Structure 1
Amino acid sequence: MKRAVLFDIGDTLILTHPKLWLEPFLAERNLPADWSRLKEAARAAFATYQQRHLTATTLEEALAIWYAFDRALLEGLGVPEAEKVAQELVRQWDNPAIWPLAPHAREVLEALRYRGYRLGVVSNWDGLLPHILRVLGLAEHFDTLAVSALVGVAKPDPRIFKAALEALAVPPEAATHVGDSLEADIQAAQALGLGTVWVDHYGQHREALGDLRGVLERVA
């Protein structure tokens, strides 16, 4: 029987915390930011994104949503000329520094491919994601991409998992899903009968895996 491993992207394979990608970007340009306001700024920016990302199926639509996200985040941090800075961030969407990989992400994918697993993405993201994965050199590792904006439903809706499993021709009991969200990734996948690996790169949950290399042991 074929076996598969499905991956979430945000904060599973790509780290989204603004301190990891936005702070270096601003520092290079000597732009100040009030990082004490990060929690509220990030909440507002991500809320804007979540409300609109399912409608962004094309590259142009996706970049418009990322502009709104970036501008909300920058304004929330008190960055001067947030509109211009957001425009520059969008122009640099294909800069890998904007999408930092989680430690060991590439080697884990390579190892799983070497072992013969079929790999897929199940991610709540807009239509830019396939382009981002190509920029990062990760696209070649995946046999299918179930991206919420392109599938039309978002996790924890079971249909997005089913879309990936059907594309891989793998039953739920032969698949494992790796993700960072307890509700959208772990509980949703378990409800369908998939194995799961809970990942937490920020050390907030002791029960979760802090190092992606542990995935290789969990699915062995």
Structure 2
Amino acid sequence: MALAVAGRIRQKGKRPLLPLGSHAGVRAIIFDYGGTLDTGGTHWGKQLWHAYQRQQVPVSEELFREAYVHAERTLGKNPIIKPDFTFRKTLETKVEIELKYIEERIDGFNASLWLRPVVDDLYALTLSHTRRSRQVLTKLAQKMPMVLVSNFYGNVATVLREMQLDTLFTSVIESAVVGVRKPDPRIFSLGVEALGIKPSETVVIGDSYDKDIEPAKAAGCRTVWYIGEGWNDGLPDATHADAVITSLTELE
């Protein structure tokens, strides 16, 4: 699906801004985290749903989507995730909220039976995706400075250490810390300021068109849209994407 979407966009005139290390004028990179470095471009909602399917959790996709949105809103409004939470602990917290939401709506559903299988499945997959991302990032970090800009819960520094990514970024801009969230373009401007260069000399790479590509372009940056499996069907017109990729290896 992602390959087909990328092909359609490229046919409309989107030419790769790649490889980054050889493109004139690009002096630094800003990366998104969730859905970009840890899932292979797949939206986290879909990543979770596929784990539920693999573990044969008895729930409809419609109810799962409700549970996912409920968990995201709960974590966004309440300081449940602590700065020392690892990614695994964060994942356990999120999935537990989802499963309890489902338990309240399905007679006989036992949330505790499914927590460990779903979390084990997802954590192993996340480690695999992140390992591949780390290989690409290590090469890119030798060419130019990189900054991370992420909507996260205040524990992204802990997660980066856990995933062995903490030494690859010169700065980390986290929404819970700076008080600005995507899709506000100001969060990308903070990333550019940390780099000390012009927005036009910076390329932003992310999986979300609405939360990464559009606001980054509004901040004056160049953009690379990492297309994977999205949360919803349909395709934006991609006007603000300077390039599209379906694998981070295309950046090398």
- TM-score tier (shorter): 0.7 to 0.9
The residue aligned with 1:18 is 48
Find the aligned partners of 2:77 and 2:203 in 1 and give their Cα distance.
25
The residue aligned with 2:214 is 187
Alignment match of 1:81 (pick from 104, 110, 117): 110
Q: What secondary structure sits across from 1:120 in the alignment? A: strand
Find the aligned partners of 1:80 and 1:44 in 2 and give their Cα distance.
14
The residue aligned with 1:9 is 33
Give 1:113's aligned amino acid: A
Q: What secondary structure sits across from 1:157 in the alignment? A: coil
1:135 positional shift: 0.8
Give 1:201's aligned amino acid: G
Alignment match of 1:38 (pick from 49, 58, 61): 61
- CA spacing shift, 1:154–1:7, aligned 2, 3 Å: same
Q: What secondary structure sits across from 2:245 in the alignment? A: coil
Q: What secondary structure sits across from 2:190 in the alignment? A: helix
Give 1:109's aligned amino acid: L
Find the aligned partners of 2:196 and 2:70 in 1 and give their Cα distance.
34
Alignment match of 1:69 (pick from 73, 78, 94): 94
The residue aligned with 2:138 is 110
The residue aligned with 2:183 is 156
1:62–1:127 contact (8 Å) kept in structure 2: no
1:61 positional shift: 8.2
The residue aligned with 2:21 is none
Find the aligned partners of 2:58 and 2:84 in 1 and give their Cα distance.
30
- CA spacing shift, 1:89–1:20, aligned 2, 3 Å: closer
Q: Deviations over 1:155-195 (max 9, x none)?
A: 01122112222222122111111111111100000011101
The residue aligned with 2:22 is none
- CA-atom RMSD in angstroms: 3.6
Q: Deviations over 1:13-64 (max 9, x none)?
A: 012312566667xx5xxxx5126x2353144323432454365473368999
Q: Please give the TM-score of this superposition, normalised by the length of structure 1.
A: 0.74
The residue aligned with 2:3 is none
- CA spacing shift, 1:103–1:160, aligned 2, 3 Å: same
Give 1:72's aligned amino acid: I
The residue aligned with 1:49 is 72
Alignment match of 2:166 (pick from 139, 159, 168): 139
Give 1:7's aligned amino acid: F
Q: What secondary structure sits across from 2:147 in the alignment? A: strand
Quote the sequence identity (%).
26
Higher RCO (CA < 8 A, seq sep 6+): 2
- CA spacing shift, 1:168–1:55, aligned 2, 3 Å: farther
Larger Rg: 2
Give 2:64's aligned amino acid: A
Find the aligned partners of 1:89 and 1:153 in 2 and give their Cα distance.
31
Q: Please give the TM-score of this superposition, normalised by the length of structure 2.
A: 0.66
1:54–1:149 contact (8 Å) kept in structure 2: no
Find the aligned partners of 2:58 and 2:217 in 1 and give their Cα distance.
40
